[in-house]
Amino acid sequence: MATQTPPESLRFRQLDTIHRLADRIESIWRTELDLEPYEMPEDLGYVEGTLEGERITIENCCFQTREFRKLHLELAQVGQSLDILHCVMFPRSQFELPMFGADLVGGRGQLGMAIADLSPIARSEQLPTYRAALDQLPELTFSQPRTFPQWGDIFSSDCLFVRPAGAEEEQKIIDRIGDFLTIHCRQAQAAQPVTRDREEELMAGQKRYCQQQLQNDKTRRVLEKAFGNEWAERYMTQVLFDVL
């Protein structure tokens, strides 16, 4: 395993749809939020290793803001067969905000999976201000919707979870994720701090979200094969879904 500073962003070697979504996410963050640096462990920011004879590369980009303790964008690639984009925004406990999450997985020229959601963490339906904004978005249809995993009860009724079929559906995905993200950033900017008791409830909900996501065995197995069990556990719980 090697850690170093990449010569250029991994997105330039990934599927065009992933490249474009990574650019869209960063553009919206920079336009809508006041970003500050976020310190990551040096050996977890950019990593290279091997998986079944193929090079695996992982690149992480993180920020923080008044409203979010961490904005995380991960790009990963396994040889020529697998490209991944993973993005999660972790709210600070003082603000009642859902969890924004988005993942794209593809390879060999096409996407195989896309998921994006604004997931409530208070075990209730979406906040009224979000509901009004989301209801303004046009209804989308996809030819190959996917079924949620058993641990997927954290997702909302607005969750996008599909196997894209062609360039038109891939563009719909980029646009809808951009819509979710813009709504989220603007709602966050307007958010006011909650009471201490409410903070505890919100953090408990955020921890449950992370714990459910940590049940994703596919991600863990890939990391364990490439980097070992100890490193995979540290990466899963300190970078992908840090439950504090």
Report all structural domains of the chain as residue ranges with CATH numbers, in order of start: 2-238 (3.40.1500.20)
Mean pLDDT of 123-133: 80
Q: What are phi and psi of 60, to 5 degrees?
A: -120, 140
Does pTM top 0.85 for this prediction?
Answer: yes
pLDDT tens column, 199-242? 999 999 999 999 999 998 889 999 999 999 999 999 999 999 99
CA atoms within 13 A on the CB side of 172: 19
Residue that the structure tokens 């096409």 belong to: 110
Nearest to 108 by CA among 35, 195, 15: 15
pLDDT of residue 111: 95
In contact, 98 and 10? CB cutoff 8 Å: no
pLDDT of residue 14: 96
